[in-house]
A and B are shown apart, each in its own frame.
Chain A
Amino acid sequence: MPVREYELIQNYLLHKEIGAIRELFQQYEDKLFRYLWQMLRQQQDSEDALQETFRKALHALPKYREENHFKSWLYRIGHNTALDLIRKRKKIVEMDEVMESGLTSDEAGPGEKIETRERAEAVREAVAALPELERDVVTLRMQADLSFKEIAEIVGAPLGTVLARMHKAKQRLKKQLTPIITS
């Protein structure tokens, strides 16, 4: 665990420094939200899941052990929170919402904008269509920038299994995306 993270946690727990825990959580806020959004595919659910993740982490912090990797620990909480939410609400990935959620590029021209939008939508569709276990690995690796070892800790699977899932997912995505991207 990085020394800085450990210091921030200690400052919060021992000296009640709220700024310390804010700094720590802020480091992961963006990427955690991206990951949760990829899992839940809905704005409100993703925001709820993000808050719930931080809430759970805050309460569990006194039990946190130094030898744990904070990033994996936080993402595991986020992952389980999103899964709970999916189970509770019987969430079905709604691709219509994904389409409507907006993708704009102010720098691109009208033709270029449509092309970029279509491509991004295609990528999103392809990722969303992946089996859940593979999608988790792809999202955690490519969007949350977690290492495979960290992903293995989060999803509770051996490293070899995680690598195999990533490989399968990559092959699926290639199959689905190649015609769109090359056309």
Chain B
Amino acid sequence: MKQEEKILLYWSGEADPKLISEVKQLLQSDSSAREYYDELLGLHEQLNDINIPDRRPGLLDEVLEEGVAADFPERTGKKQTSSQGTGWIRWKGWAIAASVTFLAILILTWSPQDDKPTSVAAPSPENQIEKPEHRDISATKKKTSLSQRMLSKSSLFRESGKGLANSRKERHRWGRKRLRKQNT
């Protein structure tokens, strides 16, 4: 390696310990080597003094805004299928569970058992409370009569044409009315 190359590597901080000690000795003993090194330092200083015009602010932000907006949808897609695979399965599981629950509720609501007296009383909290005074005969009577009442009013619901929600509401309203009547 030539002498100037050794000095250049020393100046740039790339010399290994062996080369560092070699160049240090050279700089002390050889005036031309010392001069070469000083010239490098001087030149570096002068070049750093060159004033570069100020650049327009926000150059980087502009790039980041447009670049990230363009890149992320693609990366998000990859993320869902690869690195976040378990998360995707979890969400799918929740969706299936929710669908099953909804279907179960729907089936229970529309079940033919609706017409039976025992299942009619179940959804209403008021009907679930078993009052001691009505425990025996009156409970059976209440359920039976409620069912009968419902059947008898079914034509009204068909007439209103508002569907299931309306019919259930009506049934509960009639149930509550009947309970109050019985209690009094």
A residues in contact (CB < 8 Å) with B = 13-14, 16, 18, 21-22, 25-26, 29, 33-34, 37, 43, 46-47, 50-51, 54-55, 58-59, 62, 101-104, 116, 119-120, 123-124, 127, 138, 141-143, 147-149, 160, 163-164, 166-167, 170, 173-174, 177
Contacts and interface: CB of A to CB of B under 8 A. Distances in A.
Interface in B85-138: none
A71 B20 CA distance: 25
Interface string B1-28: 0101100110011100000000000000
A167 B7 CA distance: 10
Nearest to A160: B5
Contact of A170 (B2, B43, B52): B43
A166 B5 CA distance: 9
Interface residues on B, range: 35 or more
Interface stretch (B54-62, B148-156, B158-166, B169-177): B54-62
A142 B60 contact: no
B8 A163 contact: yes
B12 A51 contact: no
B160 to A, nearest CB: 53
A177 B39 CA distance: 11
B51 A120 contact: yes
Contacts of A174: 39, 43
A147 B83 contact: no
Contacts of B75: 13, 16, 62
Residue of B49, B51, B72 contacting most chain A CB atoms (<10 Å): B51
Contact of A138 (B47, B51, B63): B47
A18 B5 contact: no
A64 to B, nearest CB: 13
Contacts, number: 106
A163 B53 contact: no
Contacts of B56: 47
Contact of B12 (A47, A138, A141): A141
Given A21-B68, A142-B44, 7 more contacts: A14-B83, A16-B76, A22-B64, A50-B59, A103-B50, A138-B47, A147-B12
Given A16-B75, A18-B64, A18-B68, A163 B9 contact: yes
A102 B2 CA distance: 40
Looking at chain B's contact residues, the main secondary structure is helix
Contacts of B46: 119-120, 123, 177
30 contacts: A16-B76, A29-B60, A33-B52, A34-B52, A50-B59, A51-B59, A51-B60, A54-B64, A55-B63, A55-B67, A58-B63, A58-B67, A58-B71, A62-B75, A102-B53, A123-B49, A142-B44, A142-B47, A142-B48, A143-B50, A147-B13, A163-B4, A163-B5, A163-B8, A163-B9, A164-B5, A167-B2, A167-B5, A170-B39, A174-B43
A103 B12 contact: no
Contacts of A50: 55, 59
B40 interface: yes
Contacts of B55: 33, 43, 46-47, 50
A148 B49 contact: no
B51 A102 contact: yes
Residue of B44, B50, B67, B68 contacting most chain A CB atoms (<10 Å): B50
A16 B63 CA distance: 15
Contacts of B64: 18, 21-22, 25, 54, 58
